[in-house]
Structure formats: C-alpha cells, structure tokens
Amino acid sequence: MNRRALLASLATSGAASASGCLDSLTGAQNESFQLGYVAVHNSTENAHQITIRVRRDETDVHRSTHDVAGQDGVIVKSAIPECDWGSTRGRYEVAVRIDDGDWITESFQGYDTDGGDCSIAIAEGTLREGERLDLGYRRACDYDNPPDGLCSFDS
C-alpha cells in the first residue's frame, strides 16, 4: 500500500478524533516555526478539486491542486501535498480553495512554540457535507501519534 493510500485510510479515525481540536492555537507571540504537514480530507460523497497554497513570511512557497474522490464507505480520501516548502522556519499561512470557491485562509498568529516538536506545525482540514471546510492547526507535540506524512527535518 502506498503512503497516500495508507494516510487516506487512516484519515477517518484521525479526522474524527481531531474534530473540535483544530482551532487556531493561541499563546506566546513566537510565530516562527516549521510547517510539517498539510492535509485536507474529503468526507463528502462527491469528488472535489482541492487547491492548497502555503505562504511563508508573505511569500508563496507552495501551490498544488488535487482531484480528490469522495468518501468511499469508511475510507476518506485526502489531498496531502509533498513538503516542498522546505524546513525553513518562518511565519506560515495555509489557504485552501474547494473547486472554484473562495479561499479559506488560516494563519498561525499567536502560535506558541517552545522548541522541539512544538516548533513544528500541522495544518489539517476536513471538507464536510454542505461544502463546509473546517481548517485548523496543531503543534506536532500535541499529537500522541503525529501523522505518518510528517515532513522530515534536519535539526
């Protein structure tokens, strides 16, 4: 099984357990961190085109478009871009557009980093029925088991 298929099959339990926990983080004003993972899960019955844009320090560092099938039984399909934005620390913003709709943008304002895994951010969203996208962020250290697709960074 390839990595994307495995992540998609695990997304159902991960998205369900994370719902309600993906609100923007608040805390200390140290907003420089590494972006370690971005995923958008499609839990609707319909296929959608999902576009993901990543900005670091107000500069675009990633943009990709993914054709994501609808949910198949308990299997949730996902858009998970490669970590081509690199390991550079900075102030990140992730924006997602579903089909040709408006951009939904979240930033890590007030993001609390205290070193180690807490300096690595994870952006994750779930598209729900009614075309409602819940998009939020967590620190890698807030996961008991961080996603398998977490970017590899040299310290």
Among residues 126, 121, 118, the alpha carbon closest in space to that of 138 is found at 121
* Single-letter residue type at 3: R
How many whole angstroms separate alpha carbon 87 and alpha carbon 109? 19
State the pTM of this model. 0.76
Question: Count H helices, E strands: the chain?
Answer: 1, 8
Under DSSP, is residue 126 helix (H, G, I), strand (E, B) or coil? strand
pLDDT tens-digit profile of 50-87?
999 999 999 999 999 999 999 999 999 999 999 999 99
* Single-letter residue type at 111: Y
pLDDT tens-digit profile of 18-62?
433 444 434 344 568 889 999 999 999 999 999 999 999 999 999
